[in-house]
Structure 1
């Protein structure tokens, strides 16, 4: 798919993830250093863990742009007093940006796994970790149950994207057209899941 479009989607996703970390940190009454750390890990934790798992130096430690994106997000959120808005994460612009990040990071994780010769299981793991690892780190640090385990069809979208990537790599080919198709399908599935509040079944106690 077009590199500029993918870059824009990834950037929007990074901003949305960083903002969600910032807002959660404010709710937990963290100091300014804590807010930045949580925002940074939310936006970049998945990629950091992924790169360590495949034995590489995390890209986030080599590319200073990740730091600047999170820093600018935190400053803008503070100046605009976004923490005073209720249910900001449910506003459509935020949901769309977050969904673009989820899809682009899922694809990135799957592509890196395939390029490194991982098994289909490895592709699924890296896709999910890249997309959702930052949120898991955030929630764990803040003493919450990771949203991955109880939010609306969020992790399932990353898994579906990984499965599509595995199928294309096995039976067809990965190119700009097929990657674009996966991107669009993943985004549409996520937005439909959000609109209709899809959840995986839960086992109720009692």
Structure 2
């Protein structure tokens, strides 16, 4: 039950994140909706293709389309109440990666993949939608900058399997994993934690 709730919250969070990104670029409704859609389903689509789970999830369940559509409309209606697009985008994006990392890991476990591959699959699920969003919005994807982003997903995935090994209740594992990722991301921004940049002079 809690897994379904988390998955729905992840869709909503990423849809709002994508919608806000589209509105900052002053796109029309169709453009905002497309950005919201690819942000929500991009990572899951790549994940399903990698594990051979076709047709991909959103083609088999119209509920995903309805959730993204409703979230986009809500984001547009209440856009004036969001005091800072930048802060709101960051918040919803952070919630999204926390939840979708779990979704990707669980999908990997369903096809008996190793823990390391499951963690990578969770990271792909969490991050690729944001990568697609940033590319379509003509931005350098967050995952490729020095910010702590994919690293938080990898650490959260590690926590997932540590707790799994200890036979902790699944509901607690989901909450702890998402909470760890969200907390790391928030602390990284607050205290300016970054990965070293590699450049050529």
Scaled by the length of structure 1, the TM-score of the pair is 0.80
| 1:18–1:43 Cα contact (<8 Å) kept | yes
Change beyond 3 A, Cα 1:96–1:85: closer
Please show how residues 52-71 of structure 1 align to structure 2 within 5 Å. 52-56=49-53, 57-71=55-69
Any conservation in 2 of the 1:13–1:99 contact (CA below 8 Å)?
Answer: no
Segments of 5+ residues of structure 1 without an aligned counterpart are: none
Specify whether residues 97 and 86 from structure 1 end up closer, same or farther in structure 2 by C-alpha distance, changes over 3 A only.
closer
1:183 alignment partner in structure 2 = 178
Residue 116 of structure 1 is matched in structure 2 by 111
Query: Take 1:18 and 1:181, find their aligned partners in 2: how far apart are those partners?
Result: 23
1:27 is the counterpart of 2:43: no
Q: State the 4+ residue runs in structure 1 displaced beyond 6 angstroms.
A: none
What CA RMSD, in Å, does the superposition of the two structures yield over aligned residues? 2.7
For these two proteins, the number of residue pairs brought into alignment is 199
What do residues 53-84 of structure 1 show as CA deviations (whole Å, max 9, x unaligned)? 111122112222211122112222323344x9
Distance across 1 between alignment mates of 2:96 and 2:189: 15
User: TM-score normalized by structure 2?
Assistant: 0.82
In 1, Cα distance between the equivalents of 2:175 and 2:20? 32
Query: How do 1:158-197 residues align onto structure 2 when only pairs under 5 Å count?
Result: 158-168=153-163, 171-173=165-167, 175-176=169-170, 177-197=172-192
> By how many angstroms is 1:96 displaced?
4.7
Do the aligned partners of 1:48 and 1:58 also contact (CA within 8 Å) in 2? yes
